[in-house]
Structure 1
Amino acid sequence: MSKRKRARRMDRPSPASRPPNAMIVANDTRAGVSAFTFGDPEPVNSRATMLDMLECWHNQRWYEPPISLEGLSRSFRASPHHSSAIILKRNMLASSLDPTPQLSRRAFAGMVQDYLVLGNAYVQEVRNRLGQLLRLDHALAKFTRRGLEPGQFWWVPGFRNEVAFEPGTVHQIMAPDINQEIYGLPEYLSALQSALLNENATLFRRRYFENGSHAGYILYATGAFADGDVDAMREALKRSKGPGNFRNLFVHAPDGKESGIRILPIAEVGAKDEFLGIKNTTRDDVLAAHRVPPQLLGIVPANAGGFGDVTKATDAFFELEIAPLQTVFLELNEALGRNVVRFRERPRPAA
């Protein structure tokens, strides 16, 4: 046998010839500890980044959003900190509005909530017969689509129920996106997985208590029991299930040995999923994405020092978050050519 054939036979199989999820030996020492890796490495930036290179596709009438608006709407109430941070911003912006005859506080609050949840806000002009502006109505961003023609928008509440708005009567406010300029995307997308994980942890713990897994154990009996004692224990355990469980069970074994009856818990092993750690970590991620101080959301501090002065935190939050959001909605004045959006000047805190 030639050296070339011998070397080819001793080579390891190439990664392309391995079946998926194969067990690959990392070191074959024949004696001692062997390490294994399961499957081939999966890159983080693979199929997910393909969406960043696609434009918003259209159906010859309107553009479809780059992300599911239905999914964003459902995730709004996934985490209490996620929804509470958005509601806090909405309420602070609505309270700072100086209503005008054309724009009510209710319509403005709806626009703000759409902008914070979906990244887009739409307002529709309502005109009189002379073409003069009467008022501005809030158009739900979840069902509003941007048309192919400039200034054209569509109302799409369901299949075959679409209606075209009158051209030039709908105005869009969008959060900027780095991949396209047709629709806006919300700022909290980087923390959306944390909000969903927070919801999953809560739902898992609820199911854990509802299905009675917290009472699971193995009754291991090796002692000597009289006739009928085992059947009596079995019947007593059956009666402890269902409503009114957590009952105490008395067992008397006169000739039994020490450790003849043992209870081996089996459900606690699966229940140790770091519930509090998951909740706290995901909460911090969501608050970091929304940039909301924890004391403004009613979070109880874990340390004795607390979170600091809530008044100073409110002032800083208003200056860094609410004031920039006010400038976003002032764009409507430029689009309409008149001051329909006005905000009251916030009193300065006393020195």
Structure 2
Amino acid sequence: MTTPRMTVRAGDTPNYRSSMIDFALGDPEPCLDNRMTEYVGIWADMDGLYEPPISLNGLINLLGVNAQHGPILYFKANMIAKWFKPNPLINYRAFKRVAFDYGWSANAYLQVISNTFGQVIQLKHLPAVTMRYTKTSGVYVQLQKNGNKVFFNPGEVIHIKEYHPKQGIYGIPQYYGGIQSALLNEDATLFRRRYFKNGSHMGFVFSMADPFISPEDEKKLCDAILQSRGVGNFRSLFLNNRSPKGDAEKTVKITPVGDIATKDEFERIKKITTNDMLSMHRAQEALSGQSSGDSPGFGDLDKITKAYYNNEVVPLQHDMRTINEYLPKQQHIDFIVPDYSDFLTNGASV
């Protein structure tokens, strides 16, 4: 004989005389969102402006996606600017903005301001998110919030960009391949927040083996389960076996489901994605304030600092030095070389 079954959704009035009631788990939701982080190629719009191959606004939104991604990029900008020598053309604050733009977007822009004699008197930072290259050689444009466009003269804008083999107009950040890990880290955290907001005590199977329970009491139990869940989160299942052969010693049994399915998985996802982000940024845990949980301690900080400076900071400073290609020698930007640098020890100049 088939046991009657009934599905109850929000707003429905269940028939509590049925032998078994189960609560629907809701409609499926799409796994992918609409954040534009896919590589779409380079193309020019109706105004002759080349659009970046990935969404710059999407990359900016990613800065707050979790506890690791954005802070590491700020840390790298701090490390580049830490040894910046004072320069009459650009102050520390403006240079740090240039370094940060280069970190998050792989593009940095400076406006060369000259006097009437053609001498460079200032380098002005231009936010990377607003800059576009045009079909006219050497001409850049800045997008304004009101929809206007500011066109610069050929050679007026210095563009520092990371090399990308598919195109030579815009740089692509090196961390691009780890974006999905960053998003997965965020999704796991948001799911866990919804789980705890729901009370974390739901998501179970409430089973009974009592053929003599009254319909009124059964209705009270079902109502309590229906009212104790949160919107869009775990729902619970109520079963009552009215068979007279029910086990009296196991009249009521509660089997947790939701926590078993998520507790260990959440910790594993967070650990894996954190390791991914440390790898994609080549970040040192001990220096950047991040932790993967794998290391029992921080190690020798002096050796770690020296290795990070030589292998990561110096190459980034070399990228910043491409600005000097547009400046007279006496106005070149430069960096202080710390005492622990191999470059100083070996007599080489940074």
TM-score band (shorter)?
0.7 to 0.9
Kindly state the Cα deviation for residue 185 of structure 1 after the two structures are TM-superposed. Answer: 0.8
Paired residue type of 1:271:
T
Q: Does 1:120 align with 2:112?
A: no
Residue 142 of structure 1 is aligned with which of 129, 137, 146? 129
Distance 1:226 1:214, change over 3 A: closer
Kindly state the Cα deviation for residue 280 of structure 1 after the two structures are TM-superposed. Answer: 1.2
Paired residue type of 2:180:
Q
Equivalent pair of 2:42/2:51 in contact (CA under 8 Å): no
Partner residue, 2:340 = 348
Give 3-state SS (helix, strand or coil) of 1:76's partner. Answer: helix
Partner residue, 2:274 = 283
Give 3-state SS (helix, strand or coil) of 2:125's partner. Answer: strand
Residue by residue, what CA displacement relative to the aligned partner does 1:12-59 show, whole Å, maximum 9, x if unpaired? xxxxxxxxxxxxxxxxxxxxxxxxxxxxxxxxxxxxxx968x544343
Give 3-state SS (helix, strand or coil) of 2:255's partner. Answer: strand
Residue 306 of structure 1 is aligned with which of 276, 297, 305? 297
Kindly state the Cα deviation for residue 267 of structure 1 after the two structures are TM-superposed. Answer: 2.2
Q: 2 CA distance for matches of 1:202 and 1:227?
A: 42
Aligned residues: 290
Kindly state the Cα deviation for residue 262 of structure 1 after the two structures are TM-superposed. Answer: 1.0
Equivalent pair of 2:104/2:173 in contact (CA under 8 Å): yes
Distance 1:123 1:303, change over 3 A: closer
Instruction: Structure 2 unaligned segments of length 5 or more: list them.
Output: 1-37, 231-246, 346-350
Residue by residue, what CA displacement relative to the aligned partner does 1:305-351 show, whole Å, maximum 9, x if unpaired? 42421221111001000001111111111122343411112112799
Give 3-state SS (helix, strand or coil) of 1:108's partner. Answer: helix
Q: 1 CA distance for matches of 2:126 and 2:293?
A: 42
Equivalent pair of 1:81/1:297 in contact (CA under 8 Å): no
Q: TM-score, structure 1 length as denominator?
A: 0.73
Residue 195 of structure 1 is aligned with which of 153, 174, 182? 182
Kindly state the Cα deviation for residue 293 of structure 1 after the two structures are TM-superposed. Answer: 1.4
Distance 1:119 1:349, change over 3 A: closer
Partner residue, 1:318 = 309
Equivalent pair of 1:119/1:186 in contact (CA under 8 Å): yes
Residue 80 of structure 2 is aligned with which of 93, 98, 103? 93
Residue by residue, what CA displacement relative to the aligned partner does 1:57-76 show, whole Å, maximum 9, x if unpaired? 34353211111111111112
Q: CA RMSD in A?
A: 3.2
Residue 106 of structure 1 is aligned with which of 90, 93, 96? 93
**Structure (1 or 2) with the greater strand fraction:** 2
Residue by residue, what CA displacement relative to the aligned partner does 1:59-104 show, whole Å, maximum 9, x if unpaired? 3532111111111111122232221221111011111100211111
Kindly state the Cα deviation for residue 166 of structure 1 after the two structures are TM-superposed. Answer: 3.3
Q: 1 CA distance for matches of 2:85 and 2:223?
A: 70
Q: TM-score, structure 2 length as denominator?
A: 0.73
Q: 2 CA distance for matches of 1:64 and 1:205?
A: 37
Residue 58 of structure 2 is aligned with which of 66, 71, 84? 71
Q: 2 CA distance for matches of 1:153 and 1:332?
A: 16
Give 3-state SS (helix, strand or coil) of 1:73's partner. Answer: helix
Give 3-state SS (helix, strand or coil) of 1:274's partner. Answer: helix
Partner residue, 2:253 = 262
Larger radius of gyration: 1
Distance 1:198 1:237, change over 3 A: same
Distance 1:269 1:304, change over 3 A: closer
- Aligned counterparts, 1:324-335, within 5 A: 324-335=315-326
Distance 1:349 1:123, change over 3 A: closer
Equivalent pair of 2:42/2:52 in contact (CA under 8 Å): no
Q: 1 CA distance for matches of 2:221 and 2:214?
A: 13
Distance 1:260 1:333, change over 3 A: same
Give 3-state SS (helix, strand or coil) of 2:254's partner. Answer: strand
Distance 1:60 1:302, change over 3 A: closer
Kindly state the Cα deviation for residue 297 of structure 1 after the two structures are TM-superposed. Answer: 2.7
Paired residue type of 1:96:
W
Residue by residue, what CA displacement relative to the aligned partner does 1:166-225 show, whole Å, maximum 9, x if unpaired? 332211000000101111111111111111111111111112222345423233222376
Residue by residue, what CA displacement relative to the aligned partner does 1:211-250 show, whole Å, maximum 9, x if unpaired? 345423233222376769826963994799489xxxxxxx
Instruction: Structure 1 unaligned segments of length 5 or more: list them.
Output: 1-49, 244-255
